[in-house]
Amino acid sequence: MRLSRAELKELMKKKLHRAGLEEEHADIVADVLVHADARGIHSHGAMRVEYYAERISKGGTNTHPNFSYKETGPCSGIFDGDNGSGHVAAKLAMDKGIAMAKKTGISIIGVRRVGHTGALSYFVQQAARENLIGIAMCQSDPMAAPYGGAESYYGTHPIAFATRGQDGRILMMDLATTIQAWGKILDARSRHATIPDTWAIDADGNSATDPFKVASLVPIAGPKGYALQMMVDVLSGVLLGLPYGNKVTSMYHDLREDRNLGQLNIVINPAYFTDLNQFLQNITNMMDELNKIKPAPGFTKVYYPGQRSLLREEESERNGIEIVDEIYNYLVSDVIHRNLYDHKGAFAK
């Protein structure tokens, strides 16, 4: 099923609003989700709506949060999400960070006590569109085995970065510190597909190709990915006085409980470090130079980070966004949720 961006966003917004989110908050969440689907990151798009709807309707997401923000220094602040929608809190916190960085050159904003925030690329793109550099990282529930281990401790702990060139193109990365994000496993389940044997391990520590037998995800580049997971956990958890490591609650443990997750947003104003126009032009030059690099055997082109997602987004504007029938049928139905996720393990089993 193919839907226009506007059609898909409206379906998701209506479902989230019916589940209990304020209409303004439902609109923001749907915007973050359609951003992911349009860029081909379906693991963070419409497939998440039923889980969010179940958590919202059961009280695990505060539908009327008392958001608060406090500047803790000339370049720092804390945004407390009161366990409302993580997408909304992260967006509003990035707005605060952008305003601060424009005045002071840099901002570091901690986002405390939130639920799942979705695709981090959405928030760093906010900064890039303002001729700034955006960096974001966040916690997630324990589902990745540390290097050499056979049980989970850290989460997928993603990191995102974005800035723009003089011509408006955005250089961007958004990556989990595991070989694949948990949402990719969910996506494979929804399509009844197998997964590569490098993504995850089963309960005995052996490679898993059946997405329903995944017990832990695997960090990127072995010990290097494991170290990055530690860094993200410190900066978006310990630094903000929040639970860390395997003390972070599973998103499926009890959908009536708060999540208390953390995210760290960093915004840098290039104009405080170099000539802004030269910076923007150099970013454009970098993207062009990467595209001109001779491709290795088996490749047709070298893409700059974020380019393939941008191409998918442009294609979706022309031809719509592909949504699997099962998810579409849920979105257009009168069903809010089907009790699929509550009191499950980290891997929704």
The whole-number pLDDT of residue 181 equals 79
The whole-number pLDDT of residue 347 equals 73
Residue with tokens 């409980």, as numbered in its chain? 257
User: Taking Cα atoms as reference points, which of 66, 94, 93, 106 lies closest to residue 82?
Assistant: 66
Q: Is 90 exceeded by the pLDDT of residue 344?
A: no
Gap between the Cα atoms of 289 and 287, Å rounded:
5
Query: pLDDT tens for residues 166-192?
Result: 999 999 999 999 998 777 888 898 888
Sequence ranges of the domains in the chain = 2-275+311-332
Total length of the chain = 349
Helix (H, G, I), strand (E, B) or coil at 61: coil
Residue with tokens 């589940």, as numbered in its chain? 19
Gyration radius of the chain's alpha carbons? 20
Q: Which amino acid is at 228?
A: L
Residue 149 binned pLDDT confidence (cut-offs 50, 70, 90) = very high
The whole model's pTM is what? 0.94
- Catalytic residue IDs: 116
Tell me how many degrees the CA angle 112-66-262 measures, rounded to the nearest 5: 10
Task: Please list the alpha-helical segments (H only) found in 42-181.
Answer: 49-58, 86-104, 121-128
User: Taking Cα atoms as reference points, which of 44, 43, 42, 55 lies closest to residue 16?
Assistant: 55
Q: Say whether domain 2-275+311-332 belongs to CATH 2.40.110.10.
A: no
Q: Is 80 exceeded by the pLDDT of residue 312?
A: yes
The whole-number pLDDT of residue 304 equals 98
Range name among 90-94, 180-184, 220-224, 286-290 with the lowest pLDDT average: 180-184
| Mean pLDDT, the chain, integer | 95
